[in-house]
């Protein structure tokens, strides 16, 4: 169990990145959803002991993380948003190096571990290829392989599928699903679909605050019969934004599709629409 209580962080430039964040996270895939600049990376870096909070606590299985950083790092796997690699080193060589750093000193044990990890992330046939020649998706899968060294109990992945093509994104998400069956995996992302597909528990963070928390399906059910849509001209969007509780407006066939949240039929040409997690997301960050 990972418990985050009253966590706050303000950077020296005055930006308040986290404001009284409270979360309890248990085994499985946990989605942390929010726009760029919402505080997701700040929270991930704080959990990963890469920076200290100004106030609040983080405990993992009863252990105070701020007082036991090295102990947490022993059971932590981390794939940051910006994951650099040595371009001229092969994946196999790099995993051996990282495994040594994590204390796997026995040559035979390390060899078997590296082989198993490369097979798990489907990179074994590319093990001798320089990391600089890997595609974006291959680099992300290599990132998961290095994060799995040391049999971690907590894995953090920060914006892992940003920039991946659909096929690589599917491969990566399938890999995350397999990993997240028996340990805590925190998926920090701004891609609503990834959370909807992978996570049974989630939180939406905006402006450094947790603004929504729960099971994605249950959250969507809470909007049942409350989302209404209407196709309007671009110049009419401002009117509907002023008159209704607008969730979002997006371009569709040269017109704007306006989505609003209303407990009763708003009339005026609006029709009922089945709610999605995207509606939950935009309702909380707009």
Give the up-direction half-sphere exposure of residue 220: CA atoms within 13 A in the CB hemisphere. Answer: 16
pLDDT of res. 274: 95
List pLDDT tens digits, range 124-162: 999 999 999 998 888 888 988 998 898 899 999 988 887
The dihedral through the CA atoms of 126, 129, 135, 141 has a sign that is positive
pLDDT of res. 138: 87
Confidence of residue 108 (pLDDT cuts 50, 70, 90): very high
Let me know if domain 2-214 sits in CATH 3.30.70.600. no
| Adjacent-strand bridge partners of 33 | 189, 204
List pLDDT tens digits, range 158-200: 888 877 788 888 888 888 888 888 899 999 988 899 899 899 9
For 236-270, the DSSP string reads: GHHHHHHHS-EEEEEEETTEEEEEEE-SS---TT-
What does the block give as tokens for 48? 């990963």
List pLDDT tens digits, range 25-64: 999 999 999 988 899 999 999 999 999 999 999 999 999 9
Pairing of strands 271-272, 227-232: antiparallel
**Where are the chain's structural domains?**
2-214, 221-285
CA pair distance 63, 29, nearest whole angstrom: 21
CB 151 within 8 A of CB 111: no
**Per-residue CA distances from 262 to 56, 188, 223, 245, 251 (Å):** 37, 30, 9, 7, 21
pLDDT of res. 175: 83
269: left (phi over 0), alpha (psi -120 to 50) or beta: left
Residue 149: partners with Cβ closer than 8 Å, 6 or more residues away = 77, 95, 98, 99, 102, 104, 113, 117
DSSP E strands in 66-174: the ranges are: 76-79, 154-158
List pLDDT tens digits, range 253-271: 889 999 999 999 999 999 9
What does the block give as tokens for 258? 């306006």
């Amino acid at each position: 169990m990972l418990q985050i209580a009253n966590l706050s962080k303000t950077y020296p430039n005055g930006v308040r990145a986290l404001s009284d964040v409270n979360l309890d996270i248990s085994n499985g895939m946990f989605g942390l959803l929010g726009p760029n600049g919402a505080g997701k990376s700040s929270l991930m870096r704080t959990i990963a002991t890469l920076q200290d909070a100004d106030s609040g606590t983080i405990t993992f299985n009863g252990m105070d993380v701020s007082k036991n950083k090295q102990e947490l790092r022993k059971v932590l796997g981390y794939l940051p948003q910006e994951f650099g690699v040595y371009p001229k080193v092969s994946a196999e060589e790099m995993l051996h190096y990282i495994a040594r750093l994590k204390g796997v000193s026995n040559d035979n044990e390390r060899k078997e571990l590296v082989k198993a990890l490369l097979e798990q992330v489907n990179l074994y046939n590319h093990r001798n290829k320089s990391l600089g020649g890997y595609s974006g998706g291959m680099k992300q899968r290599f990132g998961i392989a290095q994060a799995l060294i040391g049999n971690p109990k907590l894995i953090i992945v920060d914006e892992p599928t940003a920039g991946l093509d659909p096929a690589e994104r599917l491969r990566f998400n399938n890999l995350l699903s397999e990993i997240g069956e028996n340990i805590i995996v925190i998926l920090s992302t701004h891609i609503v679909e990834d959370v909807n597909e992978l996570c049974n528990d989630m939180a939406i963070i905006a402006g450094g605050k947790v603004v929504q928390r729960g099971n994605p399906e249950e959250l969507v059910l809470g909007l049942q019969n409350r989302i209404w849509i209407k196709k309007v001209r671009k110049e009419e969007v401002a009117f509907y934004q002023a008159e209704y509780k607008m969730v979002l407006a997006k371009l569709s066939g040269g017109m704007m599709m306006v989505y609003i949240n209303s407990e009763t039929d708003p009339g005026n040409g609006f029709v009922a629409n089945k709610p999605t997690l995207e509606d939950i997301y935009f309702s909380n960050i707009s």
